Amino acid sequence: AESVRVLLRHKADVTKENAQGWTVLHEAISTGDPEIVHMVLQHRDFQQTSTTLGGVPELLQKISETPDFYMEMKWEFTSWVPLVSRVCPSDVCRIWKSGAKLRVDITLLGFENMSWERGRRSLIFRGEETGHWAELIEVNHDDKVVASERFEITQQIKRLTLDSMIPKNKEVERRLTSPILSTSLDTRNIAFERNTSGFWVWKTDRSEVVNDYEAKVFTANNVNVVTRIRTEHLTEEEKRRYKADRNPLESFLGTIEHEYGAQQDLTMEFASSNNPTALTPEEYFDPQFDLKDRDIGRPKEVTIRTQKFKANLWMSEEFPLSLVEQVSPIVDLMARTSAHFARLKDFITLDFPPGFPVKIEIPLFHILNARITFGCVNSCSTLEEASPQGPEGPQGPAAAPASPFVVDPSVFEIPKAYRVQD
């Protein structure tokens, strides 16, 4: 604990991961020491909040330099399990961007354990070109209530203190009595392959029209959803309880599972409980030394579950928006509070084939897939012009406008009949 305290006092970055993908907090929990978990959790929350405060104005400043636009993202959730597929929802996300202002309308607020939370919300981000301040407005259309927060970055960071981030004891206890979970999209071996149609010598590269845009169809192979679970910090009773609570569906979902226990055969003569394989400091800190399966700390008990998926892409070189400059910053903003946007963010950072992904099909969680379609570009400059049901209006490429697209300022105003919370 004293070593951790010294490192934190000297501003060690607790948001980092090690070579195996485990975070500092994961390793702290694995010790089973409440004091270490408390310290690391407090510093992690402090560092993450500091980074987030600067992140929103920075993203708004980035999009302010690009042309204004309107766009719709249609989310359709599907599953190959019939009973699950029937209850999967859909959503049309409407987006207006003007200068350093952004409005995103959604009706799917989130989901957990196949339970969907619906509601009509507008998220309005207002910034300015220098990136020194930002305002976030959340409009609840169901209750006609508005919550607003404006902050200047330098002032907010000054007011942010380590003492304001003290975690609750219940939060520390919950982490120490639960498995350590890490879910990631493994795309290290991903390969994009052009889809074909026809038979034998008559095969041709497959293209489709998506929202009036000609698109080449690709399959992304070797996409794995990897869930890793560590349990070495749990008591035998807690381990039994965790195994009993596992979802019975997992046995037929195509999940490949591997368990790795403590490396008893690597235990050496001069080993200790915190150094079971007797690594020397020189070996541990030597970047050229191959540790193989040896490590310091409590021996890891890891279960790795891997599910293989195929993702599909429809790439169009006719789409008028830029993925990197205009769309990615918006996905990044939404990913801070939305699990499905976070998974999309992970995927669109890959090195795609040329063009814009006008349609994407990606795995989300275990039995759930998402199909995201982009369209209705610049079809709506005000709130009244487009149908709230989604992309029924004009879609696809249109004749070049005589002047740049302009969003009406009223889009970013708070409705007069709504109550503003203090």
- Residue 161 within any structural domain of the chain: yes
Q: How far is CA 239 from CA 7, 12, 22, 252, in A?
A: 32, 32, 20, 22
- Residue 220 within any structural domain of the chain: yes
Domain of residue 313 covers 1-262+298-379
Poorest-confidence range of 17-21, 109-113, 123-127, 183-187? 109-113
- Residue 389 within any structural domain of the chain: no
Q: What is the pLDDT of residues 28-44, one digit of tens each?
A: 999 999 999 999 999 98
Listed in order, strand segments (DSSP E) in 290-384 are: 302-316, 356-365, 368-375
- Residue 60 within any structural domain of the chain: yes
Q: Greater confidence, 341 or 202?
A: 341
pLDDT, mean over the chain: 81
Domain total in the chain: 1
pLDDT of residue 267: 38
- Residue 182 within any structural domain of the chain: yes
Q: What is the pTM of this model?
A: 0.71
Q: What residues have CB less than 8 Å from 117, skipping those under 6 apart?
A: 108, 109, 110, 111
Q: Greater confidence, 263 or 189?
A: 189
Q: Greater confidence, 231 or 399?
A: 231
- Residue 400 within any structural domain of the chain: no
pLDDT of residue 86: 67
Q: What is the pLDDT of residues 326-371, one digit of tens each?
A: 999 999 888 877 778 888 898 898 889 999 999 999 877 666 788 9
- Residue 399 within any structural domain of the chain: no
- Residue 200 within any structural domain of the chain: yes
The H-assigned helical ranges of 275-407 are 281-284, 328-335, 339-348
Please give the structure tokens belonging to residue 359: 């349609």
